Amino acid sequence: MRYRSQWVAYPYFVVALLLYGLQMVFGLLSAAKYLGPDPLINLMAFDVTKEIHTNLLIVWVLTGFMGATYYVVPEESRTEIYSVKLAYWQLGIWTVNGVVAVVGYLFGWTEGNKLLEQPVPVKLTIVVCMLMFLYNIFMTIRKSGRWTTTEGVLVSGLALAALLYLPALLQFHNYTVSIFYRWWTVHLWVEGVWEMVQAGLLAYLLIRLSGADREMMEKWLYVIVGLVFIAGIIGTAHHYYWVGVPQYWLPIGGFFSALEPLALFGMAMYAYFAMRRSGFAHPNKLAIHWTVGSAVYTAFGAGLLGLAHTWPAVNKWTHGTLITPMHGHSAFFGAYVMIVLAVITYAMPHFAGREDSSRESPMGYWAFWLQLSGMFGMTLAFATAGIAQVYMERIMGVGYLDTQLKLQVHFLMLIGAAIIFTAGVALFIWDFFRAVPIRTAFLDNTSGDASVPVSSVA
């Protein structure tokens, strides 16, 4: 770790991982409700637990992105963070706002717009936090006068994410119009600018873990960003198929959605070959697992399964079924969860004051493989349940509730895989808090002039 102010990333990672664990609780609770009977239905119905589960995912991943950015930008710009106090204030407000939102959901305080359920005061506070974050980052870069393509793609993705949150502040009485503009935030986040964030973090990690040439890596970033803007933006149309918009969106959505996986497959191939050329020689083997795993699983979950699900001739049958969470869970895990965990794993030895950047933890490997295998099992469970649901409901005409009774065996498998996944999450969180001697490292690395580098990075 080169700069003392990079320490501000640590509390962001703490908050992110605690919210990650809480997300698992509400995810398991939501899956269990499919089996019934539900003794908590009057306290927390399915719509409430699912709402909290999905919103916690978005909040903790964004928290991880912010922490990762505070860790990456000082090294890329070769300077301390502009204001550490501002970063702490931002985290405090952000965390309190998230707690208020979750408690509000329990009492029905929600706008009811799927994935953007936050009430207006909560949304405005989110905007304030994002502005504080972007101001701090841009002032850091301005102070240094150094701007790399890697951090440019990373910070641009986060800035555009903040900009694209503005449509979420608008309210429409017409349901079709509301859904149309909702995807300007949701799709353009997860299948657009967040991919820029992932690409920036992936480039940062590959440069350091594989010794890949920065110039070549950053040229590849331009390709990824280009494909994201060409395919990802217009590919929003695959959400418009069945919401009451004109039919010309069908071929547009189909064609450009088919192009979206190209950037993901390219990113996976480049990550693998970059690491292969290095011989996987970096001492932080666990960070390599998470980094390469993110690129490869993104190609599978977001790329392959997304392509299989969003073609119009297929989507007319699968839309609104369990095929959707099949794609959603695997895509989010590969693209965003794994890349945040990769940055955390890479940074952990530096937080502990170990200059060799090594990360050899049996518990860490168990956490990796349990999460990977658990997510793959959940994907298969959702896929088999979704295929059965499509056949029974959409082809045979069986009623929804009767179909759900027939699918319970798949939800037993889903819960089994989810328990394996949750065990991996618990091990990662335990390993994180166990492996970092917070007080010792903090005292060793923050005394004296904050502008003096504390150690070198491998």
**Which tokens belong to 307?**
């392509």
pLDDT digits (tens, 9 = 90+) for 216-227: 778 878 887 888
Residue 444 has pLDDT above 70, yes or no: no
Residue 270's pLDDT is 76
Q: Which residue has the higher pLDDT, 428 or 453?
A: 428
Residues 6 or more apart from 103 whose CB is under 8 A from it? none
Residue 438's pLDDT is 55
* Domain presence at residue 423: no
What percentage of the chain carries pLDDT values higher than 70?
Answer: 93
Of the candidate ranges 47-56, 139-148, 229-238, the one whose mean pLDDT is the lowest: 229-238
Stretch 403-418: mean pLDDT: 95
Integer angstrom CA distances of residue 241 from 139, 250, 307: 42, 6, 15
Name the band, by pLDDT with cuts 50, 70 and 90, for residue 356.
Answer: low
* Domain presence at residue 83: yes
Q: Is 248 exposed, middle or buried (0-12, 13-18, 19+ CB in 10 A)?
A: exposed
Using CA atoms, how far apart are residues 427 and 408, in angstroms rounded to an integer? 29
* Domain presence at residue 26: yes
Stretch 351-378: mean pLDDT: 86
Q: Which long-range contacts (CB under 8 A, 24 or more apart) does 322-328 make?
A: 322/382, 322/385, 322/386, 322/389, 322/407, 323/382, 323/383, 323/386, 323/387, 323/389, 323/390, 324/386, 325/382, 325/386, 326/379, 326/382, 326/383, 326/386, 327/301, 327/302
Residue 355's pLDDT is 60
Side chain identity at 282, as an amino acid letter?
H
Do residues 349 and 358 make contact, with C-beta atoms less than 8 angstroms apart?
yes
Residue 265's pLDDT is 81
Residue 446 has pLDDT above 60, yes or no: no
Stretch 202-222: mean pLDDT: 83
Residue 17 has pLDDT above 70, yes or no: yes
Q: Which residue has the higher pLDDT, 211 or 438?
A: 211
Residue 371 has pLDDT above 90, yes or no: yes
pLDDT digits (tens, 9 = 90+) for 115-149: 889 999 999 999 999 999 999 999 999 999 888 99
Residue 66 has pLDDT above 90, yes or no: yes
* Domain presence at residue 39: yes
Residue 85 has pLDDT above 90, yes or no: yes
Residues 6 or more apart from 361 whose CB is under 8 A from it? 286, 431, 435
Using CA atoms, how far apart are residues 26 and 23, in angstroms rounded to an integer? 5
Stretch 56-77: mean pLDDT: 96
- How many structural domains compose the chain? 1
Residue 455 has pLDDT above 90, yes or no: no
* Domain presence at residue 30: yes
**Which tokens belong to 153?**
């793609």
* Domain presence at residue 258: no
* Domain presence at residue 382: no
Side chain identity at 427, as an amino acid letter?
L
Residue 447's pLDDT is 37
Residue 210's pLDDT is 82
Using CA atoms, how far apart are residues 242 and 75, in angstroms rounded to an integer? 46
**Which tokens belong to 277?**
């050329």
Q: Which residue has the higher pLDDT, 264 or 371?
A: 371
Residue 142's pLDDT is 94
Nearest to residue 158, comparing CAs of 135, 139, 124? 135
pLDDT digits (tens, 9 = 90+) for 302-355: 999 999 989 999 999 999 999 999 999 999 999 999 999 999 999 998 887 766
Using CA atoms, how far apart are residues 350 and 357, in angstroms rounded to an integer? 6
Quote the domain boundaries for residue 29: 1-147
Stretch 204-212: mean pLDDT: 85
pLDDT digits (tens, 9 = 90+) for 256-288: 988 888 877 877 777 777 777 767 677 888 999
Name the band, by pLDDT with cuts 50, 70 and 90, for residue 442.
Answer: very low
Residue 50's pLDDT is 94
Do residues 418 and 410 make contact, with C-beta atoms less than 8 angstroms apart?
no
In angstroms and rounded to an integer, the radius of gyration of the C-alpha atoms of the chain is: 22
Average pLDDT over the chain, rounded to an integer: 89
Stretch 437-444: mean pLDDT: 49
Integer angstrom CA distances of residue 103 from 47, 116, 117: 14, 16, 13
